[in-house]
């Protein structure tokens, strides 16, 4: 009998049952108390610290690290939450190697930055474990605000608004809130149902009602929200997925990476997820890396990422590329899909053409390679959902490059409507920027409502 | 290979590293392990008269640590030996017979009465001990009984007991001094006055190491209460160094042999004690922290450094720094230095800036032409060395002398080539009066 990994096509249970837990265990296990003290002591408590500047939410990093080292763990957590109420998730998912830790002076000095992410996790985990709540709501303002989308942007916005005494209703299209924290982030970055635990922690402040399966464009309209609420925040992320535009794209075995990851994140039994023997991923961002790494961990024998440009052009950081490679993922640069071959079972092969950069334009070199493929994933970017309704308010939102245009404080072109996170212009598609934008929009809304 | 052989008041040892009178030297078992490990000598844990004292039956130690729990300071409430006198004497005799090339000094603490000293000295002499150390230093437990630091704090008593000791034994007498006084020169002078052959210092410093913030008991806590203890380990070294130097350069005690104790943890610490006038060193906390093996690197490190620096034997090192220890009023006020930041090694943490800006002289930039940049502003720099002290990168900031003849941009004055100190300074009312 063939080993489960070498069965052609798409199949579940490719690995021994006990292998899954090991493969999807916490990628960066937490520091214990002593490790945290030693690591905290490495921080120089810089003046005007570059790590703070590099953090999209401007957490006072030297301060929270010092608070760890003095044994003031709750104070440390509060310092983090003051700026970033999703500091627990950000500690897990931020590409710190391109943010705070890249800026850390110890990176310049010795190539070993202070482990800011792990220290942040140490502090926030402690406070969340004890369910220490640091914020009380201000006196009720009587204002009602609708937050559309319960992802990082929406949650950060809701928390800050609730703190100021406003009543917040979060309208969430999915059965669970959390956005990509719940449905998108790689499973080994956020284990033990952390996304839901964090939502409970954040909403414990009170004044935040999450209404599930309420979708803009389906059950509510922007017109209606503008009428019923004093202000509206749109944090709906990017629900649509870019297509390759190739014939055969709808054949069995071809899927959106984000959909598959969502299913993986919700699966009770990872062994039940069908995965191809030979997996091909098209794309070069975090999503491409994540689907590749996770299908490999589910037991795919060969996983290849095909990216049409070079290593440095990839949105995924060098570290993330390295980590995927360490798991056995092959990353091919300067290739793009040209044709999809299908048979009765679905996709069977993909022909890639080689590309090069000629005078700033990406062109085919004329060379090709054909890979046998059992499962093909699209991971070439998301776009705004196009089923958000067609009412007047929505139509009057100015768009830019497929996203809702906002100014520096999150204000859209429509009075009374703010937006932030992936669905809006200005961000860089990170959890932490979504949090920063949600928080800043809340500040602006609060000022506007005063 | 440098010659590390040590001759301290006639007591010979193969190297200058002795274990101080403390738990590491409380029994034949420990002392033999120490000798096997290479220690040059020991001062046996302090003996007293029978009935022997008892120790607490709970924690004796408290500590302060650095971040990786590196032990920086230790505090203890232990007393002198809690074993019967005759057992100790028998073991001392056996060990000395087995290890004739090592120094074995016996530490003593008995009531302040001449017959007590006469009696015990006779008994110690019978063991073949190389010398005695009079423990006038222990700050807790014994001082409340009129011994230890209670004697060490009264120069007249020191002189008296030292004299008794000298008159009742032919062994060299070392007086161990307590640091729990205001000016260590007085007890040292008294020891010399009484005829002591040498002094050793420091014993532990009176201390409360910490308070448990739940029970509000000082640590170490015995049934909810704590009492002050004696502080030792790396943290006390600077205090010990100063006291050693004070005695070494005091005219009245000049030439009095000193055994340096207090925080010696590495060969480098030992070399510093020697340079400030100690004839050898004694170690307690470092051995209690890491075990006896640390003596290996103490020996090898000292030897390698002496080879590299061209010091053939210990006498070429001992006291070499003493002439350079002076009083503040004799420091050359015409020596002008400015901090220099090496931009290539600067990691831009900004600690020099904020330290200078918030707490000193506003002499370091944080921004130059819109970029993060740390540079010394000579016109403000007083040369204080704070930036060097707080910079995390070794040798990134250095203090450089402004050569004579150049202008100090801070004062606008030309740097004088001459030596000029406070006693000659026009602002000194005493100088003006002359
Ligand atoms: C696979 C993948 C991996 C990633 N990994 C990382 C990572 O490791 N680190 C990192 O920093 N970033 C990562 N990102 C990016 C990060 O997840 C996003 O930038 C972040 O989640 C954006 O937050 P948001 O609140 O704007 O949108 P989302 O997280 O997308 O949340 C939008 C919310 O709105 C809801 N919604 C959508 N449409 C409607 C509607 N019509 N009506 C009501 N509700 C609606 C959604 O259900 C969702 O809850 C990853 C993204 C992907 C796709
Ligand atoms: C637990 C303990 C017990 C000590 N007992 C004695 C003692 O009995 N007699 C004595 O002269 N000094 C005693 N000392 C002091 C040491 O000999 C030494 O002077 C002091 O610890 C400083 O040296 P260090 O910093 O190397 O430890 C003791 C020290 C400690 C830690
Ligand atoms: S840059 Fe690094 S060393 Fe400096 S404050 Fe931030 S974490 Fe600490």
Task: End-to-end CA distance of chain B: give it in Å, rounded.
Answer: 54
Tell me the range of A312-316, B32-36, B65-69 where mean pLDDT is highest.
Answer: B32-36
Does the pLDDT at position B139 exceed 80?
no
Rounded to a whole number, what is the distance in Å from the CA of B88 to chain A's nearest CA? 42
**Cβ neighbours of residue B19 under 8 Å, at least 6 residues apart?**
B25, B31, B34, B39, B41, B42, B43, B282, B283, B284, B287
Whether residue B353 and residue A44 make contact (CB cut-off 8 A), yes or no, is no
Does the pLDDT at position A169 exceed 90?
yes
**pLDDT attached to residue A5:** 86
**pLDDT attached to residue B1:** 85
Asked if A70 is an interface residue toward chain B (Cβ–Cβ < 8 A), one would say: no
Chain B residues with CB within 8 Å of chain A CB: 66-69, 347-351, 353-354, 366, 372, 392-393
Q: Residue range A372-394: average pLDDT?
A: 92
β partners of residue B76: B61, B230
Q: Which atom of ligand 3 is nearest to the CA of A52?
A: 6
CA distance B103 to B83: 22
Pocket lining for ligand 2, CB < 6 angstroms: B 20-23, 45-46, 74, 76, 78, 80, 107, 135, 137-138, 176, 203-204, 232-233, 236, 261-264, 283-286
Is residue B46 within 8 Å of residue A11, measured between CB atoms? no
Does the pLDDT at position A141 exceed 80?
yes
CA distance B114 to B169: 13
Is residue B234 within 8 Å of residue B266, measured between CB atoms? no
CA distance A363 to A353: 10
List Cα–Cα distances, B147 to A225, B103, B152, B418, in angstroms.
Answer: 86, 26, 8, 52
Is residue B102 within 8 Å of residue B40, measured between CB atoms? yes
CA distance A171 to A147: 6
Residue identifier of the C-alpha nearest atom 6 of ligand 3: A51
β partners of residue A208: A168
DSSP readout, A213-280? T--BTTTB-HHHHHHHSSEEEE-----EE-----TTTTSTTEEEHHHHHHHHHH-S-GGGS-EESEEE
Does the pLDDT at position B345 exceed 80?
yes
User: DSSP 3-state assignment of A449?
Assistant: helix
CA distance A439 to A444: 9
Residue among B347, B353, B392 whose CB faces A47 most closely: B353
pLDDT tens by residue, B279-336:
999 999 999 999 999 999 999 999 999 999 999 999 999 999 999 999 999 999 999 9
Closest CA to A316 of A281, A293, A290, A284: A284
Strand (E) or helix (H) holding A157: helix A152-163
pLDDT category of residue A76 using cuts at 50, 70 and 90:
very high
Is residue A75 within 8 Å of residue A131, measured between CB atoms? no
- Residue B138 among the catalytic residues: yes
pLDDT over 90 for what percent of chain B? 92
Is residue B281 within 8 Å of residue B260, measured between CB atoms? yes
Whether residue A48 and residue B392 make contact (CB cut-off 8 A), yes or no, is no
Does the pLDDT at position A1 exceed 70?
no
pLDDT tens by residue, B103-121:
999 999 998 899 999 999 9
**Three-class SS string for A115-140?**
CHHHHHHHHHHHHHHCCCCCCCCCCC
Say which residue the tokens 């910079």 belong to.
B391
**Cβ neighbours of residue A122 under 8 Å, at least 6 residues apart?**
A30, A31, A36, A68, A73
Does the pLDDT at position B8 exceed 60?
yes
Does the pLDDT at position B144 exceed 80?
no
CA distance B422 to B37: 51
Main-chain dihedrals φ then ψ at residue A283, nearest 5 degrees = 150, 180
Sheet architecture: strand order including B229-232: B61-65, B71-76, B229-232, B205-207
Q: Which atom of ligand 2 is nearest to the CA of B137?
A: 11
pLDDT tens by residue, A156-168:
999 999 999 999 9
**pLDDT attached to residue B432:** 57
Mutate to test the interface with A, among B64, B66, B67 (most CBs of A within 10 A): B67
A38: chain B residues, CB-CB within 8 Å: 67-68
CA of A422 relative to ligand 1 center, distance in Å? 7
Asked if A34 is an interface residue toward chain B (Cβ–Cβ < 8 A), one would say: yes
Among all ligands shown, which has an atom nearest to the Cα of A427? 1
β partners of residue B133: B107, B174
pLDDT over 70 for what percent of chain B? 98
pLDDT tens by residue, A406-425:
999 999 999 999 999 999 99
CA distance A89 to A79: 15
Number of Cβ within a 10 Å radius of residue A166: 25
Q: Residue range A13-24: average pLDDT?
A: 95
**Cβ neighbours of residue A223 under 8 Å, at least 6 residues apart?**
A391, A392, A393, A394
Whether residue A40 and residue B67 make contact (CB cut-off 8 A), yes or no, is yes
Whether residue A106 and residue B351 make contact (CB cut-off 8 A), yes or no, is no
Nearest CA in chain B to A34: B68
pLDDT over 90 for what percent of chain A? 94
CA distance B4 to B312: 9
Q: Which atom of ligand 2 is nearest to the CA of B286?
A: 26
**pLDDT attached to residue B114:** 94
- Ligand 2: residue of B232, B239, B289 to mutate (most ligand atoms within 8 A of CB) is B232
pLDDT tens by residue, A277-305:
999 999 999 999 999 999 999 999 999 99
Is residue A108 within 8 Å of residue A164, measured between CB atoms? no
Question: ∠ CA(B112), CA(B113), CA(B118), 5° rounding?
Answer: 115
User: DSSP 3-state assignment of A284?
Assistant: coil
Q: Residue range A426-433: average pLDDT?
A: 90
Does the pLDDT at position B146 exceed 90?
no
User: DSSP 3-state assignment of A46?
Assistant: coil
Number of Cβ within a 10 Å radius of residue B54: 8
Pocket lining for ligand 1, CB < 6 angstroms: A 93-95, 148-154, 171-174, 177, 179-180, 184-185, 189, 215-217, 235-237, 239, 258, 261, 286-287, 290, 385, 388, 421-423, 429-432, 434
CA distance B149 to B174: 15
Residue identifier of the C-alpha nearest atom 12 of ligand 2: B21
Whether residue B349 and residue A105 make contact (CB cut-off 8 A), yes or no, is yes
CA distance A64 to A49: 12
**pLDDT attached to residue A428:** 85
In 3-state terms, chain A is what percent helix, strand and coil (to 5)?
40, 20, 40
DSSP readout, A288-332? HHHHHHHHHHTT-SEEEEE-SS-GGG-SS-HHHHHHHHHTT-EEE
pLDDT category of residue A2 using cuts at 50, 70 and 90:
low
Q: Residue range B43-52: average pLDDT?
A: 94
Among all ligands shown, which has an atom nearest to the Cα of A91? 1
Residue identifier of the C-alpha nearest atom 30 of ligand 2: B22
Tell me, using a 6 A CB cutoff, whether residue A61 lines ligand 3. yes
Q: Residue range B131-142: average pLDDT?
A: 82
DSSP designation for A97: G
Does the pLDDT at position B137 exceed 90?
no
**Three-class SS string for chain B?**
CCECCEEECCEEECCCEEECCCHHHCCHHHHHHHHHHCCCEEEEEEECCCCCCCCCCCCCEEEEECCCCCEEEEEECCCCCCCCHHHHHHHHHHHHHHCCCCEEEEEECCCCCHHHHHHHHHHHHHHCCCEEEEECCCCCCCHHHCCCHHHHCCHHHHHHHHHHHHHHCCCCEEEECCCCCCCCHHHHHHHHHCCCCEEEECCCEEECCEEECCCCEEECCECCECCCEEEECHHHHHHHHHHHHHHHCCHHHCCCCEEEECCCCCHHHHHHHHHCCCCEEEECHHHHHHCCCHHHHHHHHHHHHHHHHCCCEHHHCCCCCHHHCCCHHHCCCCCCEEEEECCCCCCCCCHHHHHHHHHCCCCECCEECCEECCCECCCCCCCCCHHHHHCCCCCCEEEEECCCCCEECCCCEECCCCCCCHHHCCCCHHHHHC
Does the pLDDT at position B433 exceed 70?
no
Q: Residue range A399-406: average pLDDT?
A: 95
Is residue A161 within 8 Å of residue A446, measured between CB atoms? yes
Tell me, using a 6 A CB cutoff, whether residue A106 lines ligand 3. yes
pLDDT category of residue A268 using cuts at 50, 70 and 90:
very high
What is the number of CB-based contacts under 8 A between chain A and chain B? 39
A40: chain B residues, CB-CB within 8 Å: 67
What is the rounded average pLDDT for all residues in chain B? 95
Whether residue B67 and residue A69 make contact (CB cut-off 8 A), yes or no, is yes
Q: Residue range B337-350: average pLDDT?
A: 97
ipTM here: 0.81
pLDDT category of residue A386 using cuts at 50, 70 and 90:
confident
Residue identifier of the C-alpha nearest atom 2 of ligand 3: A104
Helices B85-98 and B114-127: crossing angle, nearest 10°?
40
pLDDT category of residue A127 using cuts at 50, 70 and 90:
very high
Residue among A34, A47, A69 whose CB faces B366 most closely: A47
CA of A435 relative to ligand 3 center, distance in Å? 22
Does the pLDDT at position A347 exceed 60?
yes
Among all ligands shown, which has an atom nearest to the Cα of A199? 1
CA distance B407 to B405: 7
Whether residue A41 and residue B67 make contact (CB cut-off 8 A), yes or no, is yes
pLDDT tens by residue, B211-251:
999 999 999 999 999 999 999 999 999 999 999 999 999 99
What is the rounded average pLDDT for all residues in chain A? 96
């Amino acid at each position: 009998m063939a080993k489960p990994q070498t069965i052609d096509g798409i199949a579940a249970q490719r690995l021994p049952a006990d292998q899954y837990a090991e493969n999807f265990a916490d990628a960066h296990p937490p520091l214990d108390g002593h490790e945290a003290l030693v690591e905290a002591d490495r921080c120089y408590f810089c003046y005007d610290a570059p790590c703070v500047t590099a953090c999209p939410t401007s957490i006072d990093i030297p301060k929270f690290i010092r608070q760890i080292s003095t044994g003031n763990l709750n104070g440390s957590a509060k310092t983090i939450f003051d700026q970033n109420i999703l500091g627990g998730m950000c500690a897990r998912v931020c590409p710190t190697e391109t943010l705070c830790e890249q800026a850390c002076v110890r990176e310049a000095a010795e190539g070993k930055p202070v482990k800011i992410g792990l220290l942040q996790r140490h502090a926030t985990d402690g406070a969340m474990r004890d369910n220490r709540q640091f914020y009380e709501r201000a006196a009720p303002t009587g204002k009602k605000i609708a937050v559309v989308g319960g992802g990082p942007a929406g949650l950060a916005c809701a928390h800050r608004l609730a703190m100021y005494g406003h009543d917040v209703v979060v309208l969430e299209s999915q059965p669970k809130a959390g956005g990509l924290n719940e449905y998108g982030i790689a499973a080994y970055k956020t284990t033990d149902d952390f996304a839901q635990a964090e939502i409970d922690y954040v909403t414990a402040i009170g004044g935040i009602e999450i209404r599930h399966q309420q979708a803009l464009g389906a059950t509510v309209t922007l017109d209606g929200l503008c009428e019923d609420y004093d202000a509206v925040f749109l944090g709906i992320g990017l629900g649509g997925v870019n297509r390759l535009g190739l014939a055969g794209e709808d054949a069995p075995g071809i899927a959106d990476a984000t959909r598959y990851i969502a299913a993986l994140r919700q699966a009770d039994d990872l062994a039940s997820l069908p995965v191809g023997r030979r997996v091909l991923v098209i794309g070069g961002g975090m999503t491409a890396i994540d689907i590749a790494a996770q299908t490999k961990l589910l037991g795919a024998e060969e996983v290849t990422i095909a990216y049409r440009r070079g290593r440095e052009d990839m949105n995924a950081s060098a570290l993330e590329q390295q980590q995927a490679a360490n798991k056995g993922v092959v990353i091919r640069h300067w290739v793009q899909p040209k044709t999809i071959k299908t048979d009765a079972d679905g996709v069977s092969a993909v022909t890639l053409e080689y590309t090069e950069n000629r005078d700033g334009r990406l062109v085919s070199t004329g060379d090709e390679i054909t890979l046998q493929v059992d499962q093909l994933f699209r991971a070439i970017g998301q776009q705004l959902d196009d089923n958000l309704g067609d009412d007047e308010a929505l139509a009057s939102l100015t768009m830019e490059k497929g996203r809702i245009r906002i100014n520096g404080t999150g204000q859209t072109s429509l009075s009374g409507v703010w937006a932030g996170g992936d669905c809006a212009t200005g961000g860089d598609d990170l959890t932490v920027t979504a949090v920063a934008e949600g928080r800043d929009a809340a500040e602006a809304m609060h000022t506007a409502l005063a | 290979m440098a010659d590390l052989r040590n001759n301290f008041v006639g007591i010979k040892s193969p190297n200058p590293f002795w274990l101080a009178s403390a738990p590491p030297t409380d029994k034949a078992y420990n002392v033999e392990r120490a000798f096997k490990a290479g220690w040059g000598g020991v001062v046996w844990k302090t003996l007293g008269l029978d009935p022997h004292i008892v120790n607490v039956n709970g924690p004796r130690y408290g500590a302060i640590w650095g971040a990786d729990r590196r032990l920086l300071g230790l505090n203890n409430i232990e007393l002198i030996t809690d074993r019967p006198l005759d057992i100790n004497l028998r073991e001392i005799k056996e060990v000395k017979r087995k290890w004739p090339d090592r120094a074995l000094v016996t530490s003593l603490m008995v009531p302040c009465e001449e017959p007590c000293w006469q009696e015990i000295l006779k008994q110690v002499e019978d063991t073949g001990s190389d010398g005695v150390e009079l423990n006038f230093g222990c700050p807790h437990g014994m001082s409340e009984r009129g011994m230890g630091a209670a004697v060490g704090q009264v120069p007249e008593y020191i002189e008296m007991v030292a004299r008794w000791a000298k008159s009742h034994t032919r062994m060299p007498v070392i007086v161990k001094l307590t640091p729990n006084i205001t000016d260590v020169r007085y007890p040292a002078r008294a020891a010399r006055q009484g005829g002591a052959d040498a002094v050793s210092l420091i014993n532990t410093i009176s201390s409360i190491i910490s308070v448990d913030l739940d029970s509000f008991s000082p640590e170490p806590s015995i049934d909810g209460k704590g009492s002050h203890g004696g502080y030792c380990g790396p943290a006390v070294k600077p205090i010990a160094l100063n006291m050693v130097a004070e005695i070494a350069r005091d005219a009245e005690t000049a030439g009095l042999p000193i055994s340096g104790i207090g925080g010696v943890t590495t060969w480098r610490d030992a070399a510093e004690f020697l340079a400030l006038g100690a004839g050898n060193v004694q170690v307690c906390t470092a051995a209690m922290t890491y075990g006896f093996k640390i003596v290996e690197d103490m020996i090898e490190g000292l030897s390698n450094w002496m080879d590299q620096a061209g010091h053939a034997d210990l006498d070429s090192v001992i006291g070499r720094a003493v002439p350079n220890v002076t009083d503040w009023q004799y420091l050359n006020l015409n020596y002008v230095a400015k901090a220099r930041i090496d931009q290539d090694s600067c990691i831009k943490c900004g600690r020099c800036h904020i330290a200078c800006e918030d707490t000193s002289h506003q002499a370091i930039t944080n921004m130059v032409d819109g970029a993060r940049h740390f540079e010394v502003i000579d016109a403000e720099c007083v040369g204080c060395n704070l930036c060097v002290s707080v910079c995390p990168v070794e040798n990134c900031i250095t203090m450089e002398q402004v050569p004579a003849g150049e202008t100090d941009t801070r004062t606008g004055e030309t740097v004088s080539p001459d030596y000029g100190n406070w006693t000659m300074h026009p602002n000194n009312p005493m100088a003006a009066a002359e």
